[in-house]
Structure 1
Amino acid sequence: MSSFRPGRLVGILVGTVVILGFGVYGPATLLGPLPPVTAFTVTPAATATAPTPPVLPANGASAITVLAATTSDASGTTSTRAEGSQPSAPIAVAGTAEALPLASIAKVVTALVVLDAKPIVAGESGPIVTLTAADFQSYLDYDKAGARSVAVFADEQWAELELLQALLLGSSNNHADTVARWAFGSVDAYVVAANAWLSDNGLTGTSVVDATGLHDASAGTATDLAHLAGLAATDPIVSSMLASPATALANRRGVQNTTSYLPEEGITGVSRSYTDAAGVCFLFTATVSDGASSFTFSGAFIGEPTYDALTADLTALMASARAGVGPLPVLAAGDAYATFESAWGDEASAVVGVSRTRYAWQATTPEAATVELKDFATARTGANVGQVRLTVAGEKLSAALKLDQGIADPGPGWRLLHPIVMITALLDQ
């Protein structure tokens, strides 16, 4: 007959706990997930060039905005970026932010709105328009008032392209009214359509009450008008007109090109005009190039006191452009944006894998980069561990972040000796 022995029972219980403990502890530590690395964001040494702000006049209002940039890298790869249809943040602005009378810049609006309603196929001249007695009377009225005009007669036939050439190149006031009436039935109907077009294109600080800009209430902000210059310069019909100005229109009638100004500075004029209320107003694009890459921006100067002032201010702007535009090492390969440390002592960094260089105008100090990192415990050298995003010269850029050296599994010894860390990692998962 056996007797009850408490010591033996305790031994059995202890043995059972030990066996069960090893049955759970072993798999939990040897096979369980490792704790993720601890990440710390860092700021790399500055690689961008020092900001070189554009020189803009204090007179009136002015603004410039990116139009397009073409960059060729060492491998011969060429990339082109262009501004979208909606206004982007300007490179720089100066003067008043209020809407000012815009003089004949209003005719650029007229041309684009008419082309939107009555498009012309590239390489063609568009429909033929028979001029009316009202068109002839407009010519007589503007000519008598001493306003810019190009002669027309009733029953003459002009192609739409010729009407637009007289409007834009000759800054003809009577042609502004003529194309407005032809495309929309009346100048009043045109005004409604033009203001809707301005709103649709994000130019909410600009409005017109006529097709010519002679009325002081046709006004716009410099930021809007700089974008308008870009819209005109990228329209295939308008850009073709500006590149190859007509020397003669219907019936061999001559037209003086009023848009060209300081082409030797790399400037292409879009509209140049003066009224007592508006002062000197100039819409333009300009290009800076190093032969392999180029940077084009559009701009608006409104309310300049004289043409001499306009010349001096444009010359100063272009000097600052040549000093400020160049290749910017935006994201340099090897720059670290984060460091990692594992619980078992391994360390590594998240670095830019491939350099990103832009031919641009660094007008202001770049914004701080935004870093997004992945959660991981182990990873091989070169693994993608996140992304860095930043905005430089108005352009949003990003690059993948790579691990500069691997973080490996610490092995069974470390796992078995750190049960709390391992079980916590298992519970967290």
Structure 2
Amino acid sequence: ASGPSITITQADYQSYLQQSAAVDSVMAVAPGEVMTEYQMLEGLLIPSADNIGTALARWDAGSTAAFVVKMNAMAKRLGMTSTHYTDPSGLDPRTVSNTRDQIKLAQLLEKNPTLSQIVSYPQATLPVAGVVYNVDYDLGSNGIAGIKTGSTPSGGSFVFYSRANIQNQSTGIFGAVLFQQSGQPLITALDVAKALAKAAPSQVRYFKVLSAGGLVGTINPPGGAPINVYATKSVYAFGWSGLSESIAVTPTLKTHSVASGAKVAEITVKVGEQVFKEPAVVNSPVVKASLKWRLTRL
């Protein structure tokens, strides 16, 4: 869907003129120009137009100040604890973040099919601006399929997503290169990101964390012999040296007797930020203790 239609106001046009005079990254607009929300997002994400960010902020929240309040509330909900926004475009030096928070935001963007599609476009055609080109010159190199560049007084930055094949398993790699100052800062950030996207797959492996049929626990029923609890499925994950791993078993048995093969627990496997949940079952029946056994132990 293209979303609602948005009309460029006189205030939006004045912002374009002011930001253009300040040599910011902008896209040509005209008063009364009508674009869909989708086209506005193309202008924001493909040529990285600061003035479109300002226009969208006014349209969504009534003012840039009100939109910044919404941005910070969203950052808090997402757990972006090192991020604080003071403007929609990120040009204000008081707007701060770090690589971890930016990758968290990038992962959320890639889950949105509309935004993921837009950032992968090499170009777009818009009503007044005409053909605009993606500032992400890494598109298509080393599997890079987006996401967003940034040029500020703090330096050149690039938060990226690349597609990779690791041990015949397709996966995605997220990375963030922030505040590069050397050479042409944005080009430097793009070059560093391209090198990271090329090197990262060789550092990642796909491995088995939990084996189907593996023993994960034991039930000691009153009056009976111990009964083993097993995993029903193998769990595989992507990982690299130094990444934390954990396996926890949570009992779910609520009755005194169950049949062989019944679920009695849940296994939670964590590898870094990857979380897997699988059932655990018994390999023989759990039988309620006999009346004689219970009476002799009063």
TM-score clears 0.5: yes
Q: Partner of 1:153 in structure 2?
A: 30
1:238-268 deviation digits (Å, cap 9, x = unpaired): 2231233543211362312113525331222
Aligned with 2:277 (options 387, 397, 411)? 397
Q: CA deviation at 1:143?
A: 2.0
Contact 2:158 2:178 (C-alpha < 8 Å) held by counterparts: yes
Q: Partner of 1:127 in structure 2?
A: 5
Distance change >3 Å, CA 148–CA 349, structure 1 → 2:
same
Q: Partner of 1:136 in structure 2?
A: 13
Structure of greater relative contact order (alpha carbons < 8 Å, 6+ residues apart): 1
What one-letter code is carried by the residue in structure 1 that aligns with 2:238? A
Give, in whole Å, the separation in 2 of the partners of 1:384 and 1:288. 36
Moved more, 286-295 or 192-201: 286-295
Aligned with 1:231 (options 92, 99, 108)? 108
Q: CA deviation at 1:193?
A: 2.7
RMSD between aligned alpha carbons? 3.7
Gaps of 5+ in 2: none
For these two proteins, the number of residue pairs brought into alignment is 291
Contact 2:156 2:178 (C-alpha < 8 Å) held by counterparts: yes
Moved more, 310-319 or 265-274: 310-319
What one-letter code is carried by the residue in structure 2 that aligns with 1:390? V
Q: Partner of 1:320 in structure 2?
A: 200
What one-letter code is carried by the residue in structure 1 that aligns with 2:47? G
Contact 2:90 2:152 (C-alpha < 8 Å) held by counterparts: no
Q: CA deviation at 1:228?
A: 1.1
Aligned with 1:355 (options 218, 221, 233)? 233
Alignment of 1:18-417 (within 5 A): 122=1, 124=2, 126-132=4-10, 134-251=11-128, 253-261=130-138, 263-277=140-154, 279-289=155-165, 293-306=169-182, 307-308=187-188, 311-312=191-192, 314-316=194-196, 318-326=198-206, 328-338=207-217, 349-352=228-231, 354-362=232-240, 364-370=243-249, 372=251, 382=261, 386-393=265-272, 394-403=274-283
Residue 426 in structure 1 maps to residue 288 in structure 2: no
Higher strand share: 2
Between structure 1 and structure 2, the one with the greater Rg is 1
Contact 1:206 1:219 (C-alpha < 8 Å) held by counterparts: yes
Identical aligned residues as a percent: 24
Moved more, 343-352 or 265-274: 343-352
Give, in whole Å, the separation in 1 of the partners of 2:254 and 2:34. 72
Contact 1:304 1:310 (C-alpha < 8 Å) held by counterparts: no
Contact 2:158 2:189 (C-alpha < 8 Å) held by counterparts: no
Q: CA deviation at 1:153?
A: 2.8
SS at match of 1:214: coil
TM-score under structure 2 length normalisation = 0.78
What one-letter code is carried by the residue in structure 2 that aligns with 1:131? T
Q: CA deviation at 1:400?
A: 1.0
Gaps of 5+ in 1: 1-121, 409-414, 416-421
Q: CA deviation at 1:146?
A: 1.7
Contact 1:129 1:160 (C-alpha < 8 Å) held by counterparts: no
Contact 1:187 1:211 (C-alpha < 8 Å) held by counterparts: yes
SS at match of 1:285: strand
Q: CA deviation at 1:281?
A: 1.5
Give, in whole Å, the separation in 1 of the partners of 2:78 and 2:104. 9
Q: CA deviation at 1:169?
A: 0.9
SS at match of 2:88: coil
Distance change >3 Å, CA 207–CA 402, structure 1 → 2:
same
Q: CA deviation at 1:180?
A: 1.9
Q: CA deviation at 1:387?
A: 4.6
Contact 1:346 1:407 (C-alpha < 8 Å) held by counterparts: no
Q: CA deviation at 1:191?
A: 1.9
Distance change >3 Å, CA 162–CA 316, structure 1 → 2:
closer
What one-letter code is carried by the residue in structure 2 that aligns with 1:179? L
SS at match of 1:136: helix
1:288-331 deviation digits (Å, cap 9, x = unpaired): 236974222434332334444653455245433344142x3232
Contact 2:229 2:281 (C-alpha < 8 Å) held by counterparts: yes
What one-letter code is carried by the residue in structure 2 that aligns with 1:315? A
Contact 2:136 2:190 (C-alpha < 8 Å) held by counterparts: no
